[in-house]
Amino acid sequence: MTSREERIADFIEAFRVEPGSTVKLSKDFDPTYRGTVRKKKKGRQLLAEGIDILSEYQTRLYAQHSHGVLVVLQALDAGGKDGTIRHVMTGVNPQGVDVHGFKVPSSAELDHDYLWRYQRQLPRRGAITIFNRSHYEEVLVVRVHPELLERQNLPHSARGKGMWRRRYHEINEWERTLSRNGTKIVKLFLNLSNEEQRTRFLRRIDLPDHNWKFSSADVREREYWDDYQRAFSKMLSNTSTEWAPWYVIPADRKWYARIAAAAVIANALIEIDPQFPTIDKDAHNALLDVKKTLEAQSPEGAAPDPFEAG
Ligand code: ATP
Ligand code: MG
């Protein structure tokens, strides 16, 4: 590992949820945290570094073609998911990235098991897919609003006592299968404070060209703040695993959240360490034969191999 890669690995350690630990969000993670990166200017340099790594490694990920990367993005309303996606993914080849947003499930989606619609959008080998909201809504909004569960038409055996524990377990096992078979899962929770959410909603009201982003449903949802904090805490405690750990990103400062998110995704690519495929001796000799043929076709006055000639 070069020092750049080591710096990234050290930087993200503070955000990682240790598998098996019990998280209480309000006590364990500070939305205003910024460690040693006190200044936006220093942050910009780090972000550029993270983005460089993303871009370099993405090409290799595509060339190696054995792994896909799934980025799971969860946040409270106004947590900054969209801006994070936009900033982090500048510099990567758009052909290798898909973004899927998950809204309230349709009736066709509700006619299947709860993981079905997420399974269908998983990354291909060589690609990065971002889930803007994800299967974790199934243990967040659905847990906070039990009436949503009613719409899922579940058999009796999938409900009742222990159902959330079972869902955590099912999600962990699903992710384990995916990760063993080449899908690297990167889970980011953008952790916003109550006061910063209030400020961002007001900003959306105060700035005319942000009015379109304002949703009164989001303000109503804010009344369930404590329930969400509990649901997020339980989710983090039960679904941070060795194969797919959660990272809690301090989200009160947008610039910091973007650096942190880019660093965690970059680190996942570093861990995969994809390589350009190499070819064996026979294939190499075959290339040299073709090279000779092409060189023999050089017109009058041209170098046999203009590339080699510089
Ligand atoms: P933005 O507001 O930035 O456009 P968003 O992700 O908030 O993006 P919305 O259309 O505002 O999109 O909200 C989507 C809604 O769908 C959220 O309230 C979310 O909780 C809800 N949702 C997502 N998945 C599920 C699910 N499985 N069951 C029920 N509701 C869900
Ligand atoms: Mg919304």
- Among 38, 61, 55, 47, smallest CA distance to 7 is for 47
Asked whether residue 241 carries a pLDDT value surpassing 80, the answer given is: yes
Q: 16 by DSSP, 3-state: which?
A: strand
Position 41 scores a pLDDT of 84
- Among 68, 103, 288, smallest CA distance to 184 is for 68
Mutate which of 103, 110, 204 to test ligand 1's pocket (most atoms within 8 Å of Cβ)? 103
Instruction: Tell me the CA–centroid distance for residue 28 and ligand 1, in Å.
Output: 26
Name the percent of the chain lying above pLDDT 70: 99
DSSP 91: T
Whole-structure pTM value: 0.94
Tokens 């379109």 identify what position?
212
d(Cα 262, Cα 249) in Å, to the nearest integer? 11
Residue-range domain boundaries for the chain: 3-277, 280-310
Q: Hey, what are 144's tokens?
A: 């906070």
The runs of H, that is alpha helices, within 151-275 are: 163-180, 194-206, 216-221, 225-239, 254-272
Mutate which of 74, 132, 137 to test ligand 1's pocket (most atoms within 8 Å of Cβ)? 137
Q: Hey, what are 25's tokens?
A: 């969000």
Q: Would the CA dihedral through 144, 148, 152, 156 be positive or negative?
A: positive
Our answer on whether the CB atom of 80 is closer than 6 Å to any ligand 1 atom is no
Instruction: Tell me the CA–centroid distance for residue 103 and ligand 2, in Å.
Output: 9
Our answer on whether the CB atom of 133 is closer than 6 Å to any ligand 1 atom is yes
Asked whether residue 1 carries a pLDDT value surpassing 70, the answer given is: no
Measured by CA distance, the residue closest to atom 17 of ligand 1 is 103
Our answer on whether the CB atom of 88 is closer than 6 Å to any ligand 1 atom is no
Position 175 scores a pLDDT of 98
Instruction: Tell me the CA–centroid distance for residue 198 and ligand 2, in Å.
Output: 14
Give the tens place of pLDDT for each residue, 54-75.
999 999 999 999 999 999 999 9
Give the tens place of pLDDT for each residue, 112-150.
999 999 999 999 999 999 999 999 999 999 999 999 999
Q: State the pLDDT confidence band at 2, using cuts at 50, 70 and 90.
A: low
Instruction: Tell me the CA–centroid distance for residue 200 and ligand 2, in Å.
Output: 13
Our answer on whether the CB atom of 102 is closer than 6 Å to any ligand 1 atom is yes
Tell how strand 246-250 and strand 128-132 pair up. unpaired
Q: State the pLDDT confidence band at 173, using cuts at 50, 70 and 90.
A: very high
β-strand partners of 97: 128
Position 276 scores a pLDDT of 96
Ligand (nearest to CA of 102) = 1
- 283: number of Cβ within 10 Å: 9
Measured by CA distance, the residue closest to atom 30 of ligand 1 is 104
Q: Quote the CATH superfamily of domain 3-277.
A: P-loop containing nucleotide triphosphate hydrolases (3.40.50.300)
Position 116 scores a pLDDT of 98
Ligand (nearest to CA of 210) = 1
